Structure 1
Amino acid sequence: MIHQDTIVALATPSGAGAIAVIRLSGKDAITIAEKQFRSVSGKLLSRQATHTIHLGHIMDGNRVLDEVLVSVFKNPNSYTGEDVVEVSCHGSNYIQQEIIQLFLRNGCRMASAGEFTLRAFLNGKLDLSQAEAVADLISSDNEASHQIAMQQMRGGFSSEIAKLREELLNFASLIELELDFAEEDVEFADRTQFKALIDRIIFVLKRLIDSFAVGNVIKNGIPVAIVGEPNVGKSTLLNALLNEERAIVSEIAGTTRDTIEDEITIGGVGFRFIDTAGIRDTKDIVESIGIKKTFEKIEQAQVVIYLFDAESVFVRKSSLESIKIELEKIKNKYPQKSLVVIANKVDQVSNQEQQQLKQAIPDIELLSAKTGKGVEHLKLILTNFVNTGALRNNETIVTNARHYDSLLKAFEEIQKVKEGLEIQLSGDLLAIDIRQALYHFGEITGEITNDDLLGNIFANFCIGK
């Protein structure tokens, strides 16, 4: 999959703006751009040094299309490893298309999705995990996901994998060498050192595999379902968290008949809040559908906020025992989900009644969504569900499902190697499992790949990157 032609695409978002950047890459990028560019100083682009910027005009024959700045990056010192030219023009849709069509008529081909980054990978400027991090960086919408993508793009994850792979490969070579001298019964690979290496690899792999639970939610946002009976203030709480009137608030029970979702960033981590229909027995067909969706959203959520009306417990004599029963049902049905129990409308009850609630339900949170009391503390509780210590310590966190799958497979093979060492398995059988582990390590960084895999990965990129 080596491309020799020259590609072109819009590198900035489509649509009108102040400026737009059009990128060319390939062996003829500078030559093609030079034919259409008239520098104000009369210089030729092909004679200019790499990483220089030039003012001039893009010309279609004698017609001036735009006044532009042209940046020149000569191979191999460019993003793709090829000659690259970037034309910064005015952001009119018309100008953008006229310049791109001009280059297409003069020898360029329209770039496919992710083709610039694909060429960077094929030319050794990035490994595959770093290339995938480029897409994650573009899509990052909070501090945590941005930090993880930057760390991976700089090679933190791939260097850790490459180091393990290199050490394992060295021992694998020694074991393969033993097989060549099998009749002489010699041992080139020190089994004690090899066992220590395997233990260390297992430790690192377990840490990386375990980090995926955190990395995945940081990358995609943590879904939080707000549930409870009708008219307990779920929509008011959502509005308080979002600091805007996102959900309709009414005194009429059952106002929220469908789920309402919105996202905010708390402490650098994205949270996706889901305001659900109130759970109760009802004959209303539409409301019943909403309640069914509520349970579906609880299934999808990682954190469940159960909200009840503190005022109704005392003023309207609602049964506190029925609330406890509902909480037990949620805990039993969703034991793996984090549960936050909140008594809302505490501004309507006395301090003594608040203490009674605390005694009745352990770990209860007292809150008034209407006045905002306790909302900031709730945000703090939510961020504590995410182990961001690894972020602060700049540890590697796995966010990519493909990497996670390869790590699991490598871990399984390394476990087989460890078991083989313990029962003193022959070198030829150990070598089989080692080769498989090396294969799965290579899948992550792209040392082992195929066209189908690359096609699937880079098809998810935006055109121009």
Structure 2
Amino acid sequence: MLNNDSIVALATPSGAGAIAIIRISGEEAISIGNAVFQSIKGKDLTKQKSHTLHLGHIVDQNKTLDEVLVSIFKGPNSYTGENTIEISCHGSTYIQQQIIQLLLRKGCRMADPGEFTLRAFLNGKLDLSQAEAVADLISSDNEASHQIAMQQMRGGFSNEIAKLREELLNFASLIELELDFAEEDVEFADRSQFHELLNRIELVLKRLIDSFAVGNVIKNGIPVAIVGEPNVGKSTLLNALLNEERAIVSHIAGTTRDTIEDELVIGGIGFRFIDTAGIRETEDHVESIGIRKTFEKIEQAQVVIYLLDSSLQSADGSLQMNQIEIEKIKNQFPLKPLLVVGNKSDLLSEKEAGNLKSEISNLNLISAKQNIGVDQLKNQLLSFVNTGALRNNETIITNTRHYDSLLKALDEIQKVKFGLETNLSSDLMALDIREALYHFGLITGQVTNDELLGNIFANFCIGK
């Protein structure tokens, strides 16, 4: 799958900017760059040291395209493990296209998505989980997802898996050796040590698998549904949380007939707030569709905020109706954290506020319009996220492919453990060990195929 031809792509975002970087990688990368570059000091790029910068011009025959800086990285001491140059030019889209077209005429090929990182993997500069972390790092949009991607790219996860795989491989070799001496009925693998290793591997795998629940929501943002009766201030609360006029606010009940979503970073964690249509009995066909969508969004959410108008709770039946709706959500979604929030608290006396809190347990009183209690609400949302693993720099799984392989590896380890405890024959136990090693290898790329690599790197941006 590894091509030795030279590839080229824009490494910075497309469009005009102050500067742009055009990257070339391949065996002939430096000589191709040298063919279009004229140094202001007459340097020959092919004779320069690695990791050096050179000022000059990109020239197409007698036409100067731009004044540039060229960076040289000689393989294997480069990102891809191959000869690589990066041309820093001015950020005009015209200049970018002219230089790239010139390089294509000189023998380069346009890089496929993720091909630079694919070459880094194939040349042993990164393992597969680290390569995937590159894409996660590029797409990270908050502190937590950035921290997880950096930890994985530095090899935290793959080192942990590689160590377990090596220890298991050592025992597998001894088990396989026993098969060669089956007639002598000898044991080379210490069964008590092997059992201890299996217990340790099982604990590590379970911890990593459990971390996916946290890692997945951190990577993709934690969805929070804001629900409640019409006109209680759901859209006002969304605007207050985002600190901008994102949703239409009106005194007319049922203004929000569709869900509105926006994202906010709180304490380095991304939250995706969903403002939903008001929950009430209605004969309006369009509004009823919005209400149905509300319950769909509750199903998808990790956290639910039930908002009520605290100034109306003394009205006939209003308190009881809200209590019924709260219980309905609790019963229908028992595992979802539910925050009950009373809006318009600025309209309450101290006594009324106290009475309302005694009627509804764990009630949070706020005024979205006056921005009272909104910061406390943000802190409470943050408390639902288990950030302890982040603070302790523990490995957190965010990749579905890794999660699937870990589940399958755990299943095989448990089969081996059962076989060991029930004195299963070594040849059958060896089959389960091989399967566990296979799933470990899938994570780090020690076991790959073209289809797997194609699926992974197809999601990368071109130029990385």
TM bucket normalised to smaller: over 0.9
Question: What one-letter code is carried by the residue in structure 1 that aligns with 2:133?
Answer: A
Query: 1:284 & 1:131 partners in 2: Cα distance?
Result: 52
| SS of residue paired to 2:252 | coil
Query: 1:204 & 1:350 partners in 2: Cα distance?
Result: 54
Say yes or no: does 1:3 pair with 2:27. Answer: no
User: Aligned residue for 1:168?
Assistant: 168
| SS of residue paired to 1:246 | coil
Say yes or no: does 1:34 pair with 2:62. Answer: no
Return the offset for 1:296.
1.4
Return the offset for 1:104.
0.2
Equivalent residues in 2 for 1:115-126 (5 A)?
115-126=115-126
Moved more, 328-337 or 4-13: 328-337
Q: CA-atom RMSD, angstroms?
A: 0.7
Question: What one-letter code is carried by the residue in structure 1 that aligns with 2:234?
Answer: K
Question: What one-letter code is carried by the residue in structure 2 that aligns with 1:286?
Answer: V
Return the offset for 1:317.
3.4
| SS of residue paired to 1:253 | coil
Return the offset for 1:370.
1.1
Query: 2:350 & 2:416 partners in 1: Cα distance?
Result: 63
Query: 2:321 & 2:370 partners in 1: Cα distance?
Result: 27
Return the offset for 1:319.
2.8
Equivalent residues in 2 for 1:179-198 (5 A)?
179-198=179-198
Q: Any idea what the Cα deviations from partners look like across 1:382-431, whole Å, max 9, x if unmatched?
A: 11111001001000000000000000000000000111111111111110
Query: 1:359 & 1:73 partners in 2: Cα distance?
Result: 69
Q: Is the 8 A contact 1:312 1:318 kept in 2?
A: no
Query: 1:424 & 1:277 partners in 2: Cα distance?
Result: 61
Question: What one-letter code is carried by the residue in structure 2 that aligns with 1:55?
Answer: L
User: Aligned residue for 2:347?
Assistant: 348
User: Aligned residue for 1:319?
Assistant: 318
Equivalent residues in 2 for 1:128-143 (5 A)?
128-143=128-143
Say yes or no: does 1:362 pair with 2:384. Answer: no
| SS of residue paired to 2:454 | helix
User: Aligned residue for 1:212?
Assistant: 212
Query: 1:117 & 1:448 partners in 2: Cα distance?
Result: 17
Say yes or no: does 1:428 pair with 2:427. Answer: yes
Question: What one-letter code is carried by the residue in structure 1 that aligns with 2:181?
Answer: F
Structure 1 residues not aligned, in runs of 5+: none
Query: 1:109 & 1:280 partners in 2: Cα distance?
Result: 60
Query: 1:14 & 1:79 partners in 2: Cα distance?
Result: 21
Moved more, 395-404 or 274-283: 274-283
Q: Any idea what the Cα deviations from partners look like across 1:114-160, whole Å, max 9, x if unmatched?
A: 00000000000000000000000000000000000000000000000
* Identical-residue share of aligned pairs (%): 75
User: Aligned residue for 2:247?
Assistant: 247
Equivalent residues in 2 for 1:287-298 (5 A)?
287-298=287-298
Moved more, 288-297 or 266-275: 288-297
The structure 1 segments of at least 4 consecutive aligned residues displaced by more than 3 Å after TM superposition are none
Question: What one-letter code is carried by the residue in structure 1 that aligns with 2:60?
Answer: D
Return the offset for 1:308.
0.4
Query: 1:351 & 1:415 partners in 2: Cα distance?
Result: 59
Equivalent residues in 2 for 1:16-27 (5 A)?
16-27=16-27
Query: 1:109 & 1:192 partners in 2: Cα distance?
Result: 57
Query: 1:206 & 1:265 partners in 2: Cα distance?
Result: 29
| SS of residue paired to 2:313 | helix
Structure 2 residues not aligned, in runs of 5+: none
Equivalent residues in 2 for 1:244-393 (5 A)?
244-314=244-314, 316-393=315-392
| SS of residue paired to 2:23 | strand
Question: What one-letter code is carried by the residue in structure 2 that aligns with 1:278?
Answer: G
Query: 2:169 & 2:351 partners in 1: Cα distance?
Result: 68
Query: 2:351 & 2:204 partners in 1: Cα distance?
Result: 52
Moved more, 352-361 or 371-380: 352-361
Query: 1:30 & 1:350 partners in 2: Cα distance?
Result: 76
TM-score (structure 1 length as normaliser): 0.99
| SS of residue paired to 1:124 | coil
